[in-house]
Chains A and B, each alone.
Chain A
Amino acid sequence: MTATTSVAQSPRRRFWGRMFKNPLGIFSMIWFVILLIAWVWPELLATHDPLQQDVTLQRLFEGPSRDHWLGTDQLGRDWYSRVIFGAGYAFRSILIAMTIAVVVGVPLGLFSGWRGGRVDRAIMWVNDVLFSLPIILLAMAVIIILTPSLDNAMIGVGIAMSTRFTRLTRAVTLQEKEELYVDSARITGLSTRTILARYIAPNLLSSLIVQAAIISGAIILIGATLSFLGIGASLDDPDWGVMLNRSRELFRVEGVWQVVPPGMALILTVLSFNLLGDAIRDAIGRDSSNNALSITKRTAVTAATTPHATGPDVVLSVRDMDVEFPDQSGRVSQILQGVSLEVRAGETLGVVGESGSGKSMTMLSALGLTPAPGRMTRGSVQFGGRDVTNLTESEWQAIRGKDVGVIFQEPIAVLNPAIKVGRQIAEPLMIHQNLSKKAALQRAGELLAEVRVPDPVRRLDQYPHEFSGGMAQRAGIAMALACEPKLLIADEPSTALDVTVQGQILDLMAEVQERHKMAIILITHDLGVIAEAADRVLVMYGGQVVETASADDIFFRPKHPYSRALLDTMPQSHDGHGELPVIRGMVPSATAWPQGCRFAPRCDFVTDACTNDMPALETIGGDLVRCVRHGEIQLVPEEEMQA
């Protein structure tokens, strides 16, 4: 469950935002704009006529001067103006070759990928043969058939380049056609042509643009090479390749300068096309920062005001934790506000709340893993009685590897597909417990047996894909248990698994807890799982703790309207087929918390008092509640009170 309820930034805006943040992207875009102007309206930039020779023969082979910015060539023509006019030749080459490459390559790739089977194999075979031929060879072949000219050479280059587009388009089509949204389009009854043109092609566009940018660079280079070899543009044209060729002949006599203007233009252009391709790719790329556990540098953290839980059995204690995230425009949203919790050895703390309520973020931040660019701005964390609020990343690593085990929702995602399961379990043992490889592997086998993976020794030698979901989660638990942690954090450990397997995993966790007396934090949105496994429960809403209490109290005597509402929405709480109770509306986004109580817009008990100030987290007995009306409202029906 990672449904984000917040309104995401539009990809277009994000794209340009990222392009303008990338210095290489800016450089290539500026160069590109200059070239475009040079192509469309060269007279605007040029200072001289590129063909105008110096009839006086006074000013040949000059270096840069005020009159001729880049000097003159062997006929006294202005280098700068010739280079400017050369841009037109370069673009004309790109235009011809690219048009052919795209017009031939893309439809072929779409067709091939969509059809699949034998047709696909035949097309790709021909394509691979063409692909393996040198591009220059194809260009020469076309020149031989037609007449030698740069334009005709470019037709050959276009055909050669079309194989790149066919490959790319086919790969994307093969992948996209398996996507659910394509199934949906077919179910709607849309024709194949519509699906290809309007569903697949737009998703293809970004990869094509990147590819086109990079190929454009290659086309210019090839065009120049052909001209350089004397089979492209004609000798007097201000084409960069031709110019380079002429200069080379005179290079020995007249010094190095003569190759610089056309050479630089060529290099800069090819380079900027490649940079542009890279920059577009980076700017389009999925938001990887959301997944990557890149950790922010710790900065000053405001101290907590609430005292920590004390006692020898307190494993983790968090007080008054705030976590903030700046968004793209620099505004700061508070993802967590005043979160406090503690968990003791042998105890299971259940954490519930809807998606986006901050359950996972709480755990990550408590362990010093706040994903960048987020940061903890207030609060205090103690682990095993030691203040760990301001630890460095390497200090944290020592604690996390040894004393904290983590189980994730997607077991398969945690395991590296390329490495045998046995080695993955053994590795941390070798690092943190200094075991030899052999001893670590043996211990890994014991661990797999402990989590009741059948035939553990053979399983050590298998790769993750040979494990079913349930078995992979067992292996994940084995890994988490490897160093006998004091704290086990399980973030939705059974949500992705079948109900029957979910039971097995819960049993297994109970069993290992019994044996090792560790503390468990169990994050889930399923109150049934909480009812089975949790001793105490922490209810989160809108980045805040709204209630903590014993499991029995949460289920039979909830104090916060949100706890009650969560219980009511479970279909298990409801007989018959009638309308299910719901919590109206949806979780607010972190960029726009409601005024006062964050649950107020969805609460059945809301009054004016609720929306004025944010309710404080009050201590009642040993429990916490964040609701201004908790004493006066009746959340448990009369009959249930008596039962």
Chain B
Amino acid sequence: MLQIEIDGKAVEVEHGSTIIEAADKLGIPIPRFCYHKKLSVAANCRMCLVQVEKFAKPLPACATPVSDGMKIFTRSEAAVDAQKSVMEFLLINHPLDCPICDQGGECELQDIAVGYGASKTRYTEEKRVVLNKNIGPLVATDMTRCIQCTRCVRFLKEVGGMMELGLINRGEHAEITAYVDKSVDSELSGNIIDLCPVGALTSKPFRYTARPWELARRPTISAHDALGSQLEMHVKNNRVLRTIPREKESINECWISDRDRFAYEGLNSDERLTVPMIRRGDQWVETDWQSALEFASSRIKDAVAREGGNALGVLVSPNSTMEEGFLAKKIARELGCGNVDHRLRRSDFRLDGHFQGTPWMGCNIPDVQDMDRVLIIGSNLRNEHPLLTHRLRQAVRLNAAEISVVNALEDDPLMRVAFKNTCSPDDTINFLLQLLKAMSGLQRLSLCLPPTLNGLLEDVVVSNNAQAMAESLAGHGKDYDLVNPRSAVFLGNMAQQHPRYSEMYSLAEAISALCGATFGVLSEAANRVGLDLARVLPSSGALNARTMLEQPRSAYLLVNVEPEVDCHNAQLVNQALAAAGCVVAMTAYKSSALREADVLLPVTPYTESSGTFMSMEGRVQSFTAVAKPLGEARPGWKVLRVLGNLLGLSGFEYDSSEQVKNEIFGGEKPSRVVWNRLNNNLRELTEVNAKVRTESLQRVGEVPLYESDAIVRRAPSLQKMAAKKPVVAAMNAKLLAQLGLQDGELVKVSQGNGSVRLAAKCDDRVADYCVRVPICAQTAALGDLYGEIQVERAA
């Protein structure tokens, strides 16, 4: 520790801290623009100049490390003189357009100018004008306002992983710009709006809609991925007008993904369902809640009375709150129905009954940043987990972590990947076996493998790549702590959706056990872990999300589900719903995907309800509504409660979602329950079949970044971002040639009895013999996300 003195206050600070860090810790304000605690130091704005004893010139507090005995003066005449002069320089070319600037009222330049600026300018020469740039649908630019602090440049390079903005030209001509004719496409780009200390970069969707002081600021949680980012929604006249991050170091730090930031636009979509509706023949008729609920309950009752509880299937979106999921499950159980599931995009349920607890991430979010070696299996990282990917990126950037990736797609995660194996999902099983064998052969690892696996490994030939990856994971190389290995094996969304997930899981678990790595599942959706913990799962012997569709039920209850795009197999779900006598859909949107429903119950999105999500690290986060329900829409938990009453079930006398939550956690402290229940271990290894090889063409059905859930799908600005990547059937050059197709040619892509026409696209990031066809409205006629697919030239 070093003894220093700031403005006469003696303090102890850590070795290596800078003056500004020491002052911030003490709460001594030093004005700054370019400095940001999460970015590299640029020292270019010069606003933080302070006086330091024994130095003739003022020093930048952001870039000057403290030394023992240093005496720093932040408010001395010399310091303030320097700060004021810099302020003057910053203002001479800054436009006086605060009255029409969106940043007004929350502008760092404005705020600091109050303290350090002169009331009258001495600058009478012509002012600089800089042309605006169109950098995409999310961020608006007013480049004349820019003070060249380069926070945005450093953010995109260091956090975003790709330098999409830069400072070109010299001197007064210096300006921030993107590459020629390119936009900023980072999935984290919205953060530069928060970072910009002036009004040069503002939110395009929010532009000119409100002044910051008119907005009510309400805390909530992200519902678009499993990170559980803490958000603040800004509301005016009961409409959410924008979203910004709440700072939470252990979750989202001070960032959020663009999906979290701009999804709010979907809350105000014209497609919102605001009144209950009942189908009369081919017509949808608006009705009141009483009629709609009575209709729904009587139809469900009828089906159950006729065929027993098994007549019903309950599908809950994994983005639903724990309360909604729990109540839906409770209704089912009370009706004698075990067919409840939230794992809509899964296709392999062979692990059911084998888990010792609720599978989760296996560690905490910040731990990822400290990892040394990480193996990621089946994840399109940036699409699935934008901010977690940033943590991983920092591990690579700052700790030189070695990342290994096994996947069917080779999308660039914008970080150095040490080892990768891009192969078809079937070959993934094979490769994992190689990895396991290579690892068990390493001298350092003496753990015995279960005999079932040992036998399996005999015929496996280890490739050089698998050997190298195994050595990396086992910590070969220097400076590796063998006692406390900081390594991890994670399974991504694509792995979870794969028909051989159970085998991947077993092998990944064995691999991690062998090298002492953390083992975890990077969960899909906002609340997969929470719904698992609340046991929104089929009861023993009952039907799961897949079998419920393969063996059509007479009645379905859908909670927040858009069948065509939320399920593993759109064909299957459409057929099942069409055949059902009764489909009750609780939904926030009038979706064409619900054409098979019989009654639509307008529930609110999570922002107009209270509820609880559990993140992939098992953090239980409850929230309250940030706005009142739109129209007649009502929170899902309330609708389910009344439905329970109308069905004549007991135990549905809840007055608040809190009561439901208490029941889920058995009256105990959630953290305690979570601690006991999260567990990734299997009771026993499932069968792994190395011999199974599919010879046909395989679909790789990823979920695109902005197709993840119903709200995101209706956020216009995000959809404009998505539109930059048209839906195509992508395959590598080899396969394209094999099929005799040209890049860009129109092809007919078929699965089962459905087909769509798409452009074929040459994309060498796709594994051999795989066709990448995303899941979205355009491809809803197709079947399994992963499985056989035919591609032929369109007639």
The reply to whether chain A is a binding partner of chain B is no
Which residues of B line the A interface, CB within 8 A?
Answer: none
Which residues of A line the B interface, CB within 8 A?
Answer: none
